[in-house]
Amino acid sequence: MIPEVFVEGVGEISFNLGMVRMNLVGLSQTEKDDKGNPKPEDRQQVIMSLRGFLVSLAAMQNMADKLTEAGVLKKKAPDVK
């Protein structure tokens, strides 16, 4: 069985030497910020080719669209200036 990793989200994304690097973060059990909220801490790093990143980005956008259609997410109204 392949172990699963739970993360709160992506903390930082960078592009270096032709590869996209994403730091996956979780919330610290011990460290807090000024407001008493758990601080994010690096848990894992995902490194992928630019093409792999773009394919993943399209898949995430597809999922966001499906969640919007299902009513789980709401579209943000455009800013009127």
- Residue 80 inside a domain? The answer is no
Q: Residue 39: which of 16, 11, 17 has the closest Cα?
A: 11
Structural domain count, the chain: 1
- Residue 2 inside a domain? The answer is no
pLDDT tens-digit map of 9-64: 999 999 999 999 999 999 999 999 999 999 999 999 999 999 999 999 999 999 99
What confidence score (pLDDT) does residue 79 get? 78
Strand order in the sheet with 19-32: 9-16, 19-32, 38-49
Residue-number span of the structural domain to which 21 is assigned? 9-69
E strand residue ranges, the chain: 9-16, 19-32, 38-49
pLDDT tens-digit map of 36-50: 999 999 999 999 999
- Residue 75 inside a domain? The answer is no
What confidence score (pLDDT) does residue 11 get? 93
Amino acid making up residue 6: F
pLDDT band at residue 80 using 50, 70 and 90 as cut-offs? confident
